[in-house]
C-alpha cells in the first residue's frame, strides 16, 4: 500500500476522535454510573477467543459472519461477535461455587462480517449487563428497568422498549410439522413482517387452526397489556400461555416502578440469537433504523460451559445510540472545558504551579510554552479550535492576562 492509502481504515471500522470521542465517553460514563448504582461489577473478557465459544450450538451468530484466524497451535480463533457467551464462560469458570445472584457489567467491541451491508459497521461498541443465578420475573423486570434508566441517562426522552417472549413462537411451532429449515424461513418472514408469505407458507400445513391463525397474526401482535389478554384468549398452548403470564408479571413489576409508559409488547418479536429462552426485548427510538438495545433471558447458555444457572441481560449498542442522539439534536456536554496556560521559559515554574493547582481542583489544564515568533492571536485561535474555555498568558514580566475564549 502507498503512504496515502495507509491513512484510511478498512471497510466496517472507523476512527472516532475529537469532540465526538469526548461525547461518547460522557455517555458511557453516565450509563456505567447507572449500572454501578444497580450493584453491577465490572468484568473484561478477551477481544478474541476460541471459535467453540461462539459456535452454532451456543446459538450465537453464524460462522460465516465471524472474523476467524489461527494461532501457532492451529486452533481456530475469532474476534468476538457477541460478548454474552464470553461472560457465560467466565461465570462457569470463576463463579462455579456461587449459588446466589451474580451481577456483571462490561464495555467492549464486537466484530461481525457484514458483506453486502454497505455503510454498516463491523465493529460495534457495546455496554452491557448480565444477571446470573436469578430465574425470577423480578430479575427480568429489574434488567428492563435498568435499560430504561440507562437510556434516560443518555438524554433520550422518546423511546420504547419492545418486549416479547421466546416461548410464544416456540410453543406454537411445537404444534406444527415444519422442518428446521422451514422454521428458519418462517422466522425470516415474521421478522420482515411479511404476513402474505406467512399465509402462503402455512395455508396447506397440518396444524391446529388456532395455531395457524396466531402465527399469521404474529407481526401484528403489538401494543399494550391488552395485547397479552387478547392472545391468551386465542390459544390453549400451555407453553405460550406460561410465557404470556410471565410477561404480565414483568408488566406489573415495571408498573410499580412507574416505567410502563416506556414499554410495549411485541409478541411476534424474535431474536437472531438462538440462546434466548424467555423474555426478549429491544429498544428503539427516532433517528436510527436499528435497535439501540437488545436483551433477554438465556437460562441454558452458562450450562454449556459447565454451570447450570439462569441468566438475563442486555447490550446497549453505543454507535446506534450516538446516531440517535445526533439525529434528535440532543445536546451532550463533554467534559469541562480546558484551561490553557501559555507561558515563556522564564515563567515555567509559575506555570507548572498554576497547572498543578487547577488539576488538584479537578479542572483540566494544559500547558503550552509560547514561541517568541508566534503571535498571541494564533494561540487564541488554537484554543478556540480545541474547546479551551480560558487562556491564561504569563508574559515576560510574570503578569497574567486572562482570555475567556467561550465569549470570543
pLDDT, residue 3, reads 79
Beta bridge partners of 317: 126
- How far does the chain reach from its first CA to its final CA, in angstroms? 44
- CATH 2.102.10.10 describes domain 338-407: no
pLDDT, residue 6, reads 83
User: In the chain, what percentage of residues exceed pLDDT 70?
Assistant: 98
Task: Give the Å distances, CA to CA, from 184 to 169, 264, 278, 325, 344.
Answer: 12, 25, 19, 34, 71
Is the predicted pLDDT of residue 373 greater than 60, yes or no? Answer: yes
Q: Which of 2-11, 14-23, 143-152, 180-189 has the lowest mean pLDDT?
A: 2-11
Convert the pLDDT of each residue in 319-366 to its tens digit.
999 999 999 999 887 666 789 999 999 999 999 999 999 999 989 999
Is the predicted pLDDT of residue 168 greater than 70, yes or no? Answer: yes
Mean pLDDT over the full length of the chain: 92
Greatest distance between any 2 Cα atoms in the chain: 94
Contact 320, 288 (CB under 8 A): yes
Pairing mode, strands 388-394 and 338-343: parallel
Is the predicted pLDDT of residue 375 greater than 80, yes or no? Answer: yes
Per-residue pLDDT band for 119 (boundaries 50, 70, 90) equals low
CA dist., res. 108 & res. 125, Å (int): 6
- 283-311 b/e with 16+ CB inside 10 Å = b? bbbebbeebbbbbbbbbbbbebbebebbb
Is the predicted pLDDT of residue 226 greater than 90, yes or no? Answer: yes
Fold of 10-327: BirA Bifunctional Protein; domain 2 (3.30.930)
Task: Give the Å distances, CA to CA, from 81 to 112, 119, 164, 285, 346.
Answer: 5, 18, 23, 24, 55
Domain boundaries, the chain: 10-327, 338-407
pLDDT, residue 272, reads 79
Per-residue pLDDT band for 261 (boundaries 50, 70, 90) equals very high
pLDDT, residue 300, reads 93
Contact 364, 335 (CB under 8 A): yes
E strand segments, 116-175: 123-132, 159-165
**Residues 6+ positions from 280 with CB-CB distance below 8 Å:** 163, 164, 165, 166, 269, 270, 271, 295, 296, 297
Per-residue pLDDT band for 408 (boundaries 50, 70, 90) equals confident
Pairing mode, strands 102-111 and 123-132: antiparallel
pLDDT, residue 117, reads 61
Q: What one-character DSSP code corresponds to residue 107?
A: E
Pairing mode, strands 159-165 and 263-266: parallel
Cell of 117: 451491508
Question: For 257-400, where are the alpha helices, taking DSSP H only?
Answer: 318-327, 348-360, 376-385
Per-residue pLDDT band for 155 (boundaries 50, 70, 90) equals very high
Per-residue pLDDT band for 163 (boundaries 50, 70, 90) equals very high
Average pLDDT over residues 265-294: 92
Contact 63, 79 (CB under 8 A): no
pLDDT, residue 71, reads 94
Amino acid at each position: 500500500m502507498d503512504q496515502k492509502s495507509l491513512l484510511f481504515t478498512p471497510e466496517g471500522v472507523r476512527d472516532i476522535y475529537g469532540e465526538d470521542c469526548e461525547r461518547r465517553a460522557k455517555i458511557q460514563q453516565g450509563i456505567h454510573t447507572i449500572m454501578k448504582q444497580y450493584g453491577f461489577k465490572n468484568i473484561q473478557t478477551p477481544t478474541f477467543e476460541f471459535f467453540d465459544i461462539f459456535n452454532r450450538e451456543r446459538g450465537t451468530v453464524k460462522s460465516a459472519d465471524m472474523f476467524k484466524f489461527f494461532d501457532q497451535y492451529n486452533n481456530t480463533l475469532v474476534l468476538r461477535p457477541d460478548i454474552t457467551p464470553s461472560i457465560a464462560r467466565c461465570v462457569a469458570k470463576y463463579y462455579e461455587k456461587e449459588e446466589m445472584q451474580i451481577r456483571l457489567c462490561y464495555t467492549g467491541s464486537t466484530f461481525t462480517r457484514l458483506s453486502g451491508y454497505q455503510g454498516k459497521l463491523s465493529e460495534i461498541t457495546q455496554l452491557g449487563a448480565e444477571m446470573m443465578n436469578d430465574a425470577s420475573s423480578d430479575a427480568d423486570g429489574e434488567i428492563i428497568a435498568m435499560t430504561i434508566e440507562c437510556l434516560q441517562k443518555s438524554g433520550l426522552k422518546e423511546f420504547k422498549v419492545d418486549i416479547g417472549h421466546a416461548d410464544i413462537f416456540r410453543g406454537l411451532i411445537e404444534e406444527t410439522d415444519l422442518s428446521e429449515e422451514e422454521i428458519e424461513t418462517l422466522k425470516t418472514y415474521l421478522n420482515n413482517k411479511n404476513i402474505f408469505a406467512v399465509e402462503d407458507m402455512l395455508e396447506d400445513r397440518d396444524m391446529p387452526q388456532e395455531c395457524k391463525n396466531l402465527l399469521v397474526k404474529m407481526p401484528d401482535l403489538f401494543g399494550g397489556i391488552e395485547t397479552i389478554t387478547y392472545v391468551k384468549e386465542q390459544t390453549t398452548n400451555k407453553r405460550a400461555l406460561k410465557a404470556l403470564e410471565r410477561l404480565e408479571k414483568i408488566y406489573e413489576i415495571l408498573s410499580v416502578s412507574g416505567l410502563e409508559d416506556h414499554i410495549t409488547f411485541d409478541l411476534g418479536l424474535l431474536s437472531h440469537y438462538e440462546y434466548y429462552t424467555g423474555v426478549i426485548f429491544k429498544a428503539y427510538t427516532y433517528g436510527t433504523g436499528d435497535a439501540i438495545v437488545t436483551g433477554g433471558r438465556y437460562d441454558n447458555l452458562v450450562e454449556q460451559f459447565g454451570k447450570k444457572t439462569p441468566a438475563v441481560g442486555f447490550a446497549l449498542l453505543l454507535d446506534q445510540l450516538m446516531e440517535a442522539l445526533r439525529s434528535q439534536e440532543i445536546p451532550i456536554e463533554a467534559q469541562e472545558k480546558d484551561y490553557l496556560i501559555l507561558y515563556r521559559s522564564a515563567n515555567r515554574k509559575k506555570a507548572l504551579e498554576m497547572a498543578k493547582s487547577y488539576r488538584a481542583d479537578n479542572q483540566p489544564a494544559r500547558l503550552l510554552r509560547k514561541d517568541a515568533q508566534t503571535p498571541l492571536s494564533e494561540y487564541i485561535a488554537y484554543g478556540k479550535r480545541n474547546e479551551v474555555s480560558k487562556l491564561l498568558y504569563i508574559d515576560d514580566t510574570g503578569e497574567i492576562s486572562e482570555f475567556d475564549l467561550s465569549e470570543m
